[in-house]
Structure 1
Amino acid sequence: MDTGAAPVRLLDADSASELTRTAEALLAECGSATAPSLLERIPASAAALSERIHHLCRPVDTPDGVYVLRGLTVDDSAVGPTPGHWSTAGEAGAVWDVTLLLLATVMGRPIAWEGQQDGRFVHNIVPSPGHEQEQTGASSTVLLSPHTEDAFHPGRAHLLMLGCMRNHDNIATTAASVRRTALSAEDIALLSRPELPILPDDSYEEAQASTEEPPQVPTLWESEDGLTMRFDPAYTPVDRAPAEYRAAYARLEDELARVSVAVSLSPGDVLVVDNDVVVHGRVPFRARYDGTDRWLKRASVRVPDRRTRPAGERNEHGYGQAAIVAPV
C-alpha cells in the first residue's frame, strides 16, 4: 500500500473499534445513513468519542496539507459489489457513511449540496458507464485534473475526506500542495488578482444552468497560515486572461505537477485533504464495471472560524448552488 509522501496517522485497534461500534449503533437505531434523526444524533455521538480519536482528527499540520488516517477495515465480501453509479448505491457501505460523518463532525461541520448526489452528506465515488471522459469522480479513462473541490463556490469545504472501500488495482489519488511550490513573488502577485471566474463542474447541472454571472476570483492569496489556493483549470476560462496571467497560471500548473504525490489508498484508509492548500486528482484507469472497481466514499467539511479565505470571498453569491450544513 503506497501512500507516497502523505503522512499517516494510525488508529489503534480500540479507537477503530469504538468508531465502528458507534456507527453501527447509530445506524441500527435510525435505520438509514441518510435519516434526519441520524444527522441530529451525530454531533453528540462525535463529541463523546475518545480523546485519542479527537487528537488524530486534529488539523492538517504539515506543509503537505494531507494525511492518511489508517486503522479502519472493510470486509470486501460483506460490503457488496461496487455500485455502477452513485444513484444505485442505496445503503451500500452505510456503516462507512456514518463513520465518515462521525469523523467529519469531529473535524468540523459536514456539508452537502442540494444539486449533487441528492443532497447526501457522504457521496459514492465510482466509475460509471458513459462518464469515462468527464472531469468528475465518475470518470476513469482520463486523468482527473488536479483541482480544489467545489472551487467555483465560496462555501466550499475546508477539508475533503476520501474513505477507501475498494481499490484492487491500486489506483492512485494525486495530491499537490501549493506550499511545496517554488513560485516567484511576481507570479504570486499576478495570480492573486481576481482575474477569472471558476465554473461549476459537470456534476452540478443546476449550477451550470444558472443565468447568474460568476464572479472573478483570485487563484492564490496569502492567509494567516500561509499561501492558499482556489484552482480548477478544467473549469477556468484561462484563455480570457492576459498573456502574463496565462503564463503565470501555466507555471503554477507546472509547479503543482512537480510537487505532486501519488496516494494509493487501501480499504479502510481515509485520506484527509486541506482543500485550501492542496489540489487533488486521480490517475487514469480502465473500469471493468463488474462490481470490483475502485470505490471511494467522500465527505466535505467546513471548519468554523477558519480564516483561510479572502475577506471579499465571504460576500460572493452562491452561484446557483445551495449548501446544506449539518446540525451542530
Structure 2
Amino acid sequence: MPTCPAPVRPLDDAAAAELTTTAAKLLADHSRATSLELLAALPEACARLSDSVRHALRPVDTPDGLFVLRGLHPDDAALGPTPGHWSSVGDAGALWDVVLLLVSSLMGTPIAWEGQQDGRFVHNIVPSPGHESEQTGASSDVLLTPHTEDAFHPGRAHLLLLCCMRNHDHIATTAASIRRTALAPADVEQLERPAVPILPDDAYEEAQRYAGRPAPVPALFDTPEGLTLRFDPAYTPLAEADAEWREAYRRLEDELARVSVAVSLEPGDVLVVDNDIVVHGRVPFTARYDGTDRWLKRASVRVEDRPTRPSAERDEHGYGQTALTAWTASPACSIRR
C-alpha cells in the first residue's frame, strides 16, 4: 500500500493564523466549544474569513476524493495527555474543535448525531481500554475495515474531516476511491441492486436496538460525475445476499484494497474525505494508554442539494437516529428518520 501520496493543500502562515485567531475569539466569546451560541455564530464568523482561506478550503475536486490540509500547528504540550476515552476529553483541545468547526462550516453544514458521543459536533477519536478489537474509532489492535462513515444512515455525511492532534507513532489512515477502481460493468450492475442492509455499528447502541426491519440498500450508485458507494462490510450481513452479489462485492473489496493509500497524518493536518466516493480505515497499532497515543478530532459535514444519493434513501428509517445541524443544534428536518 503506498504511503501518503494524498494531495496536500498547504495553508500558509497568514491563513493558519487567521483561522486560529478567529477560533480563539469565538471560544473566548462563548466559553465552550460545545455551546449553542458558538455554533450559531459560525456562519457570521466564516463570512469574515479571507478569500485565501476560502480557496484553501474549497471542495474536494479530484478523483482521489480527498486531500490533506496542512499548515496548522497544535502545541503538543498544551494539549495535555491523550484521553483514555472520548467522554473524558472535557475541554482539552477545545481551540481545535472550533478550528475544525470553522473548516467544516466553510465546506457545508456540520452535523452531529443524538446517539453518538452525546450529540457533539466534534468527536474525539482515541484508543480506549476494553475496545481494542471493535470496529469503531476506539479500537487499536485490529484493522479498522475500510468503510464509508455512518453507511447505515440515509442522512450520513457527504464529507468527513479528521484533524490530527497527536500521532507520534505515524499510524496510518487508509483511504480508497471508488473512482480509481476498475470494476467490470457486470459487477457494477450487480452492486447497484439493493440486496442486503447495512446495520448500525457498535458506536450506535440505541440504533442497534431499533425494532424496524432493516431495508436492503445498494452498494454502488451511478451519477453524472461517476460512481458513488455506500460500504461497510463489517456491518453488512453478506451471507444473506445471493452468490452473484456476494462475488461482485468481494471483487469490489479487492479493487478498493488495490487502490488503497495510507495517509500518515501529522499534528495539525486535516484529512478531508469525500464520503460518497472514498472508504477510509486505519491500520492496527498497540495502544500504550500512557497519554501519548494517537488522537484525532472528527467532524461530519453535509452539502445540501448534492446529487450523490439515490432518491429511494428518503424512505429509509435510519434506525431511529436523528442528525442535528450546527446552525440550530436541532433535528434537521430534511434528514430526520
Q: Same fold (TM over 0.5)?
A: yes
Distance in 2 between the 1:260 and 1:174 partners? Answer: 7
Distance in 1 between the 2:278 and 2:241 partners? Answer: 23
Distance in 2 between the 1:274 and 1:324 partners? Answer: 20
Equivalent position of 2:35 in the other structure: 35
Equivalent position of 2:203 in the other structure: 203
Equivalent position of 1:73 in the other structure: 73
Distance in 2 between the 1:258 and 1:3 partners? Answer: 13
- Give the fraction of aligned pairs with identical amino acids, expressed as a percent: 70
Equivalent position of 2:278 in the other structure: 278
**3-state SS of paired residue (1:127):** coil
Counterpart residue type for residue 127 of structure 2:
P
How far is 1:14 from its partner? 0.4
Counterpart residue type for residue 272 of structure 1:
V
Equivalent position of 2:297 in the other structure: 297
* 1:163-312 aligned within 5 A: 163-312=163-312
**Residue 127 in 1 paired to residue 115 in 2?**
no
Counterpart residue type for residue 90 of structure 2:
G
How far is 1:55 from its partner? 1.2
RMSD: 1.0
Where do 5+ consecutive residues of structure 1 fail to align?
none
Equivalent position of 2:13 in the other structure: 13
Distance in 1 between the 2:125 and 2:47 partners? Answer: 28
**3-state SS of paired residue (1:154):** coil
* 1:49-68 aligned within 5 A: 49-68=49-68
Normalised by the length of structure 1, the TM-score is 0.98
Equivalent position of 2:318 in the other structure: 318
Equivalent position of 1:47 in the other structure: 47
Cα deviation, 1:8-50, whole Å, max 9, x if unaligned, reads 0000100000000000000011000001110110111012111
Counterpart residue type for residue 42 of structure 1:
L
**3-state SS of paired residue (2:286):** coil
- 8 Å Cα contact 2:208-2:319 kept in structure 1: no
- 8 Å Cα contact 1:223-1:310 kept in structure 2: no
**3-state SS of paired residue (2:281):** strand
Counterpart residue type for residue 232 of structure 1:
D
Normalised by the length of structure 2, the TM-score is 0.96
Where do 5+ consecutive residues of structure 2 fail to align?
329-337
How far is 1:304 from its partner? 1.1
**3-state SS of paired residue (1:41):** helix
How far is 1:315 from its partner? 2.6
Number of residue pairs aligned between Structure 1 and Structure 2: 327
Distance in 2 between the 1:273 and 1:147 partners? Answer: 12
Equivalent position of 2:333 in the other structure: none
Distance in 1 between the 2:148 and 2:246 partners? Answer: 19
Equivalent position of 2:99 in the other structure: 99
- 8 Å Cα contact 1:3-1:265 kept in structure 2: no
